[in-house]
Amino acid sequence: MRGSLRRIVTGATVIVAAVAVIVTALAAFPLLNTVDEASARSALVTQVDRLVAATPEGRDAAIASASLLSDPDALIAVVGTDGSVRGPAADIVNGRVAQQVAAGTEASITVRRDHASFAVEARPLPGGGGVAAAQDLSRVKALGADVLGRIALALAMGFLAAVAAAVLLSRWLSRPLAGLARAARRIAGGDRTVELDDSRIDEVSDVEAALRSIGAALAHSEARQREFLLSVSHELRTPLTAIRGYSSALRDGLIPPEGVREVGETLDAEATRLATFTDDLLTLARLEADDFPIRLSSIPIAPLLSQTVAAWQGAAQSAGVEVRQDGAAASGVLVTTDPQRLRQVLDGLIENALRVSPSGTRIVLRADHGTEGTAVFEVADTGPGLTPDDAARAFERGFLRERYLDVRRVGSGLGLSIAARLTDRLGGRISARPGAEGGTVFRIEIGTDPS
């Protein structure tokens, strides 16, 4: 069934009511006929019993005037000891019924005479012979037709009542759902202030709760997006302002010759900062796409760590921070992953650690066997560290930037989010925790090569 809930409920209820009426009629009408015939036979039995108990003179009087009969439409007959039959029912009782009664046997049968059916009840008399009573069944059915009409009228009234109830029920059921549909459309249209009344129907109440959760989640997400866009705008505006200012000064000849080199270095640094931030945004956008390329291969862990540590030695020495590899790094262990993307994750974590690590501290990169066929990579620093609550939300886009903007050096707020999305694309898990000796430990679990 298609259409509105109101139409479906109404249609379904009408169909059920119609089926119920039809089944009731099919069961009731034959049963009524059976009951009518049984009632007629019961009356005949009573009349025959009266004839059996009467005197011969009484039976003769009954034949003449029907004085012993409670039903004037009933016909009676008396069977003699010689098998002769006399009385109004002689034509009906004559034959097999008369023979049975004359032989001392009761009879309760239906006899066809002249295209009519008669219910016949016959009983033998103590001295021989017997008595019988007959009733035209068509007259019984004629009397039952009035009852059938009444039953049909009652069924029709019940059907109409069911239709009316279906209309009212469909309106009652569809009203809260129509309200939910309107609320959902308002939420889809951007309204986050939709209020829903609590329904007394459990399923509708569940949908209302789900819509409230969706609205709250959308409001929270949109608020975070606005904050993120404001942060992005600020990050883009700051280097652009410096670049525009110095470029205007150069154009207007306001920079003396001896200051050109310093201005060039500033412009280069700001342009690099702007390019890095733009690259982060592009990387994050690509990670959200379904066609982000992942090229899996089986690689050894140890060379990957050595190459990563070697690549960061220059930047670390300039910052006065030691970057080193811890131990043999699970020598001989293979990992099935995209080496370029895994290296991108490790580089992002080391860059993040290097930014917050003061001079004289260290950053340790280590790897080992994990559990259930995984390899574990950790990047541990001895910088200012994170609280357990911060570590739990470290990979939310821009969270740590907003949290520590005026406390310590922060980046674009995208690096850890990119690392988390990359790790997820590689089929791994990433987490953060406070270090045992201060600082922060970032942990990556990647599946090892089963061969």
Q: What is the pLDDT of residues 164-187, one digit of tens each?
A: 887 777 777 777 777 777 888 887
Comparing 12-26, 67-81, 161-175, the range with the smallest average pLDDT is 67-81
Q: In this model, does residue 69 exceed pLDDT 70?
A: no
Residue after which a domain boundary falls, among 287, 318, 347: 287
pLDDT tens readout for residues 344-373: 889 888 888 888 888 888 999 988 877 767
pLDDT of residue 379: 92
Burial (CB count within 10 angstroms: exposed 0-12, middle 13-18, buried 19+), residue 232: middle
In a domain, 152, yes or no: no
Q: How many domains is the chain built from?
A: 3
Q: Which domain holds residue 318?
A: 297-447
pTM above 0.75, yes or no: no
pLDDT of residue 240: 80
Are 251 and 327 found together in one domain? no
Q: In this model, does residue 450 exceed pLDDT 50?
A: no
Reading phi first (left if > 0) and then psi (alpha if -120 to 50, else beta), residue 129 is in left
Residue after which a domain boundary falls, among 109, 129, 145: 145
Percentage of the residues of the chain whose pLDDT score is greater than 70: 81
Are 135 and 212 found together in one domain? no
CATH of the domain at 395: 3.30.565.10
In a domain, 166, yes or no: no
pLDDT tens readout for residues 378-428: 999 888 878 888 888 888 776 777 766 666 666 666 778 888 888 888 888
In a domain, 14, yes or no: yes
Sheet with strand 75-79: strands edge to edge: 85-86, 75-79, 130-136, 116-124, 107-113
In a domain, 75, yes or no: yes
Are 327 and 264 found together in one domain? no
User: Tokens standing for 63?
Assistant: 């034949």
Are 106 and 138 found together in one domain? yes
Are 303 and 436 found together in one domain? yes
Are 309 and 442 found together in one domain? yes
Mean of all residue pLDDT scores within the chain: 78
pLDDT tens readout for residues 222-260: 776 776 666 566 567 767 877 888 888 888 888 888 888
Span 203-221, average pLDDT: 80
In a domain, 13, yes or no: yes
CATH of the domain at 257: 1.10.287.130
Are 441 and 304 found together in one domain? yes
Are 332 and 276 found together in one domain? no
Are 224 and 315 found together in one domain? no
Q: In this model, does residue 29 exceed pLDDT 70?
A: no
Are 33 and 112 found together in one domain? yes
Residue after which a domain boundary falls, among 130, 145, 160: 145
Cβ pair 268, 302 in contact under 8 A = no
Percentage of the residues of the chain whose pLDDT score is greater than 90: 3
Q: In this model, does residue 287 exceed pLDDT 70?
A: no
In a domain, 42, yes or no: yes
CATH of the domain at 129: 3.30.450
Span 30-54, average pLDDT: 77
Higher pLDDT, 335 or 200: 335
pLDDT of residue 159: 82
In a domain, 210, yes or no: yes
In a domain, 341, yes or no: yes
Q: How many CA within 13 A on the CB side of residue 365?
A: 27
Are 12 and 60 found together in one domain? yes
pLDDT band at residue 274, thresholds of 50, 70 and 90? confident
Comparing 128-142, 231-245, 264-278, the range with the smallest average pLDDT is 231-245
pLDDT of residue 443: 92
pLDDT of residue 451: 43
- CA 160, CA 257: separation in Å to the nearest integer? 100
pLDDT of residue 203: 74
Are 257 and 301 found together in one domain? no
